[in-house]
Each structure stands twice: as structure tokens, then as C-alpha cells.
Structure 1
Amino acid sequence: MLDWEHIFATRSSRMKASEIRELLKLLEQPDIISFAGGIPDPALFPAEEFKAAYADIFSSTQVNSALQYSVSEGYKPLRDWIVEDVAKIGIDCSADNVFITSGSQQALDYLGKLFLSPKDTALVTWPTYLGALSAFNAYEPNYDQLSLNGNRTPDAYRDTASKLGGSVKFAYLSADFSNPTGETIDRAGREKLLALADELDIAILEDAAYQNLRFDGEAVPPILSLDIARKGGIENTRTIYSSSFSKTLAPGLRVGFVIAAMPVIRKLVLMKQAADLHSSTINQIAVEHVASRGFAEQVAKIKRVYSGRRDAMLAALEKYMPKGTTWTKPEGGMFVWITLPEGMDGAELLAKSLATEKVAFVPGKAFYADGSNANTLRVSFSCANNEMIDEGIKRLGRLVAHASVSEHESLPII
């Protein structure tokens, strides 16, 4: 067999299989209660609305353009709709500032390619979205922990990046109900990030995939909105906002978008032209049909369901988790982040869980750029009903309690 390794580019060594993608295969096993995949519930997809949208497309002359090549920027009526929608949350922009991608994951890949040279530093939260790390890894960066509590100075970030052979290029974060923790950055934290980015002269990559999924609490303006207010207009901002219709309408259509100043958009368009030319035209048209006819109603529907499941999971954690275990209490999104007693390992716990309790989750270590904090895990409530949540957390709590006792018993007596 041919040895390919010496032929591959050096960047290929940074590409690793997604633990989440592998765990999604467990959804096909009927005996597994899965909290692993942070995916929307297919029962909540607006299937009839999409059926009507595609029927409208195929019953009109629009089908010709829907099945044809299209512009790399994206379908103009969809970009116009996005402009109107984000204006409600303080993002004042034009369609020229909106770029359609094949899901927000493609946006992360393009942005990594745009900003990162080998050895440059990306500032990320600890933990951070695993998909972002996977996207950025191909461009051979270093990572540094983004801290918004005032413990790090701009010079400290610069010095660390310089010693590693590059420069700080951007700060990436999911500010609302983040994947994996479910936590939200408050307004003060967002303002601190803008000040830090100005000092470092770097971009901010705002991943807003879950921004629409607030169940309770007071909404916080997007970072881009605050940046526009500070700078007097989007063309003066350094924040790049990305989102998608995957969590609100349907992920299989792969329609996402980026909102940014025109110099960034122009570069992204060139990347699109060199990669896949444009996102699916017919899917963009269908998304515009469905969104323009009832996006608010669809979002309200899924929020009612997911908020109930969030409440069920928090109640089950309170009921079944042993002392020494803590968890986040998100105001929206799809995730709860669990911190196990010190010394426990989420990956080892998963192996035991699949073998004995038949409960799947994602070990937390994968979400840390340095592979630390093994005593953490992520659970998602989006695809489990209340009964499954109660039973699954009951089993998981039993397993954690047993593992904690075993760990304690294995310690030497001094």
C-alpha cells in the first residue's frame, strides 16, 4: 500500500476526526439514550412549509434560475431578508454586507483560511466549539485562552503569540448560549472584548448560531451591534458575525451566512469562487420562502419545546447528580455543561456509560484547545423528550456516583 503521509501537506496532521460526528452514529441505536448530538429535533422542522416552498419553485419559471449557477454572494432576496431580520437586534447593514455560506461551518473554515498563517494565534474561550477548532486547525495556528475577566493584558497576548512565532489574528467566541457550555457573555464582557480587539488590532469572530434560541432572561445585544454603535457604522467595525438557519429551520439545507464590513466580504466571495462557486441556489430560495412567510412563528415553536426540555434536564440534574458535580444553567440554546468531581475522566465515563447505562454524551476534553479539563462533559437536551431526559440523567447520575466512590476508594490511605 502506498505511504501517503510524506505526500500530504503538513497541515493534514492537524486534521482529526470529530468526536461528535462519531457519537452521532449512536443515534441509530435504539437502546441508547443520547445527549451527545447538539442537533435540532427533526420533528420540529417546518417540513410542510418547505414542501410548499419547493412546490412553488417548481411550478413557476423560477425553477430555471433555481437549478442554475448563481452569484457567489448568495441569493439577493435572502440577503435582503437577513438584513431586515438582524436590524431587529441592532445590526444595521446592507445586502452587500451579507454573504451566504454552506452552513456556518463553512464560514468558520473560510475565516480561518482568511486570517491564519502558520504559527499565528487564535484567541478562543476555554472550552470552545469543537467545530471551530477543527476548522481552524487546518491552517496550523496556535491557540491562547481568551479571558474577559481582566487577568490578561494586550501585551501578554502579543508576547505569547510572538514567542510562538506569529501574531494574534482574531478572537473567536459564541457569545449566546455557547456550544458547549450553554453560557452567555454579558454586555460588560462584550464591551471588554471590543476594547481588547481594538488594542490588539484583531478581528472578532462572533458565532451566533444559537442567538435566536433565548428562552428567558434579558437579551444582550450582539457584539457586532455594539461595535456598530461604537464605530458609527458597519464599515468601521472589526466584528464578523456568522450564523445559519440550521438550528431554526433545517440543517440539511446547509444555508448559513456572514455579516461583515465590505473588505471582508469581498475576500470571502473570492474564496467561494475558488471553492464551490456558490451555495445551493434552490435551497437558498426555499429558505427565503419559508423564512419570509413564518420565521418568527417557527422560532417561537422550537423555543417552547426546547425550553421545556431544558427545564426537565436541569430538574433531573438537581434530582440525580451526586454531591461534587456542578453544571451550567443556560437561558437558551441546546446544551448543559457538567463538571465532574476532580480526578474523574469524561472519556472513561463515556466508555462505561455506553457499556452499562446506555447513555451517550460528549466528553469535555475535546472542547479545550490544550486537551485539559478531562473531568467535564457536554449534554444536549434538544433531541430527547422529558421522559428520556429524566431516565437518562438518572442513569448518568448513578454512574457518576458509582465512579466517584470507586475513585475515592482507590486513593491511597495516608
Structure 2
Amino acid sequence: MDWHQIFAARNDRMKASEIRELLKLLDQPDIISFAGGIPDPDLFPAQAFQDAFSQALNPDTQATALQYSVSEGYAPLRDWIVGEMARLGIPCTRDNILITSGSQQALDYLGKLMLNVGDTALVGWPTYLGALGAFNAYEPRYDRLDPETNRSAADYAKAAGKGRVKFAYMSVDFANPTGRTLDAQMRERVIDLADELDIAVIEDAAYQSLRFEGEALAPVLAREIERKGSIDACRTIYCGSFSKTLAPGLRVGWMCGAQEVIDQVVLMKQAADLHSSTINQMAIATVANAQFDSHVATIKKAYRARRDRMLSALEAHMPEGVTWTRPEGGMFIWLELPTQINAADLLAQSLKTERVAFVPGHAFFADGSGTNTMRLSFSRTDEAGIDEGIARLGRLITAAV
């Protein structure tokens, strides 16, 4: 049967994630991988989760843990998130919170909620590959979101053509893939631009908790609330996740925004999966209440040491003409290579001769540009592996210059 002739046309825009494919290399013990932006499983609070699942399955709570539940999410977890949002300067209520199956599901829902075919999404250049994957199914156009320029709202609207600009998507803290953080002035500029264009802002905060150094900056949503007085008067939607702090396998994230938006997305969740796993939400709530801050402090110490080791190794082994970011947190360092080097070709050679994996940067550009860029993750590899892997890459890149 020719299945393609009955697939919807939007499937042509859905591509396999290069990162998902590269994660398969983790099963090969001789590969040093800087590819997947994934937590170190040795740092998971495994015993705490074992105890939490046992607690959820005791006779008093097992019926709740194993039964269908409300689409909005497990109330005690939503209440914990309300408290966490307040700490970030985002006063809200339970009605402003929706639990999702990871923040990736939130991105999919928001694309589905807002994008008509031909509408424009403003994204970073580069931006998170998973966001492009989530939005692509809804057949948007992409334009470069660059608050550092003097580009006007009229310029953005004109570039959108017959469609209209619907939202600006960005990761403002230690962004995937670049590791960069948007400063306070640029955060304010994004709010100004969104007001001028009358669009939404999607604030992807997956790495917000992983700051190693420097001054913590208020989220875009917090800044907008300061201006407008209430979350329900704001156009920013904050997407959070426990994947980078507690455990990605449980697939628990959340969306925080105006109740009108949350209510509409709840209808989508009812149609898509009814609700996220109740027992997983219960376990997350238990562990978060008991040790979220202390556990985050532990992983930040480990990841900071690995970031420092990778930065030192890059200084020692990279040839002239290679530049890289110096993130204040998160999991990523972004490299720009001399223009004649194609990072995808470099990866193929690296896997063959050096046995080091990374992600070629072109995958993070909506237009496929950035062929001379690459993303390195320092979260999964120990310090000895970082030293050896960067030395091998430096040797390979030096030969290609």
C-alpha cells in the first residue's frame, strides 16, 4: 500500500530529530558523546523516587495513583508549582497551571492552538530543534527573532506576508543550543515587540533552574506582570519542566499563563491524552516538596565543574578561528567553525576516526543555515571524557582548517 498518498500534506514537514538519532550512539561504549542534551543518570534522585512511588501505591492513595484524573493535572503538584512561580516573581493560582507530558507537549499544544497554515512564528537563529519539530506540523513560516536589532513591528508584519505573526518563541536562560542568556533589556524589548505586534510570547524555561554563576534574571512573564498587574492580563506563556532537574523519563512539565489560554489548552489535552500520568505527577510532587532545592544544588555543582572543564579543554585544543560561547548555566556550549568547515561532514569523520559525537548546528536553524556551527553538551560526560573528547575534536578540526 502507498501510505504516503493518504498521509496529510503536513507530514512532509515532520523530520526525524538528529538528536534522537545521535542518542542511539550512547549504547556504543567507545563513543564519547557531547550530543544529547540529557541529564547524567548517575545524578538522578533514584532512591527518593523509589520511596515516592511506594508511597503513592500505599492502600490509602493507590486508587488515586492508578485511576484516571483531571486533565489540568494533580492538584498538589500544581500547588507546588504555584509556589515556585511566586518565587520567580510570577504570582498565579492553580487555574493558571496545566501539567503537560514534558514541556515538549506544551510546545506542540501552543503551536496547534495558534498557528494557521502560513502564519509566522518568530524564533531564534538558531533555536531549539524540538520547538521547530513541534511547530512544523502546523505549517508555519519562520522569521528571525532578534531583539538586539532595531527591526520594527511593521518590518516583522510585512515579512509575514498574507499570514500574520502569531508568537515569539525563545529560551531566555542558557538557551538550547547556544547556552546564551537574554539580558534584562532584551527581555523588555521582547515584551514591547509583542505588544506592538499583538502576539503571544512563548517562554521556554527548561534550563532556568540551572544557573551556575551570575545574577539571576526575572523571567519575561514576571516582567510583564510587573507592567500589567496580573498574569491574566499578560501575553507570555511560561513553559517549565522537571526533565532537566529531577527526571526526564517521567515526562512531567507544565504551562503557566493566562487562564483563558490554559482553559483552551485543557480542551486539547482532553482530546490528545486525557491527562498526564497521575502516579508520575504524585512522585514528582513528593520529591519536589522534599528536596527540589537541595537536589538542584547538587546537579549544578556537577554540571558547573564539567562546563569549566570543557571550556578549559576548548582553550587548550581548538585552533585559531574557532569561537564558542561561555554559558552561565545550562548544558550547552555553541561553537562556530571557520566558514569552509561543514559540521555535518565533520561529524561523519569524527564518528569514523575519533569516535566523538556532537550535534551539527544546521539542525537548529529554521532555514538550514549555520553549516559551520556545532553544539556540545557537557552534562552527560565525566571530566576525563571531556578532556579526551575535546582533544580528539581539536585534532580533527585543526586538520580541517
Superposition TM-score, scaled by structure 1 size: 0.96
What amino acid is the match of 2:363? Answer: A
| Residue number among 343, 347, 356 corresponding to 1:346 in the alignment | 343
Aligned letter for 1:325? V
Of 204, 212, 216, 1:207 maps to 204
Task: Render the CA deviation track for 1:46-103: whole Å, top value 9, x for unaligned.
Answer: 0000011111112231110110000000000000000111211101111110000000
Aligned twin of 1:21: 20
Alignment of 1:151 onto 2:150: yes
Deviations 1:167-198 (A, max 9, x none): 00000000000000000000000000000000
Alignment of 1:37-76 (within 5 A): 37-76=36-75
Residue 102 of structure 1 corresponds to 101
Structure 1 residue runs of 5 or longer lacking an equivalent are 405-414
- Determine whether 1:395 maps to 2:392: yes
Q: Does 1:10 align with 2:9?
A: yes
Corresponding residue number in structure 2 for 1:132: 131
Matched residue type, 1:378: R
Q: Determine which of 220, 241, 246 is the counterpart of 1:244.
A: 241
Tell me the amino acid that sits aligned with residue 258 of structure 2. Answer: A
1:171 aligns with 2:168: yes
Query: Could you tell me how far apart the structure 2 residues matched to 1:366 and 1:100 are?
Result: 29
What amino acid maps onto 1:331 in structure 2?
A: E
Within a 5 Å distance, the mapping from 1:203-352 to structure 2 comes to 203-352=200-349
Question: 1 CA distance for matches of 2:370 and 2:253?
Answer: 31
Map of 1:407 onto structure 2: none
| Partner Cα distance (2:8, 2:55) in 1 | 46
Identity among equivalent pairs (%): 64
Paired residue secondary structure (2:121):
strand
Cα deviation digits, residues 300-338 of structure 1 (max 9, x gap): 000000000000000000000000000000000000000
Matched residue type, 2:243 = S
CA RMSD between the two structures: 0.6
Q: What letter is aligned with 1:61?
A: D
- Give the C-alpha shift of residue 104 in structure 1: 0.5
* Residue from 349, 357, 360 that aligns with 2:357: 360
Runs of 4+ in 1 over 2 A off after TM superposition: none
1:180 matched to 2:173? The reply is no
Task: Show CA shifts across 1:352-393 (max 9, x none).
Answer: 000000000000000000001100000000000110001000
How far 1:138 sits from its partner (Å)? 0.2
Residue of structure 1 in register with 2:113 after alignment: 114
- Aligned AA for 2:397? V
- Supply the distance in 1 between the matched residues of 2:340 and 2:146 (Cα, whole angstroms): 25
What secondary structure does 2:4 align onto? coil
Mean alpha-carbon deviation: is it higher for 51-60 or for 24-33?
51-60
Q: Which runs of 5+ in 2 are unaligned?
A: none
Return the alpha-carbon distance in structure 2 between the equivalents of residues 35 and 60 of structure 1: 44
Deviations 1:275-324 (A, max 9, x none): 00000000000100000011000100000000000000000000000000
**Superposition TM-score, scaled by structure 2 size:** 0.99
Equivalent residue, structure 1, for 2:91: 92
CA distance in 2, matches of 1:6, 1:170: 32
Q: Secondary structure at the residue paired with 2:5?
A: coil
Q: Which residue of 2 aligns with 1:412?
A: none
Q: Number of aligned pairs?
A: 401
- Give the match for residue 410 of structure 1: none
The one-letter code sitting in structure 1 at the alignment partner of 2:122 is L
Q: Distance in 2 between matches of 1:338 and 1:253?
A: 31
> In structure 2, the residue corresponding to 1:6 is in which secondary structure?
helix
Instruction: Report SS of the residue matched to 2:69.
Output: coil
SS in 2 for 1:188: helix
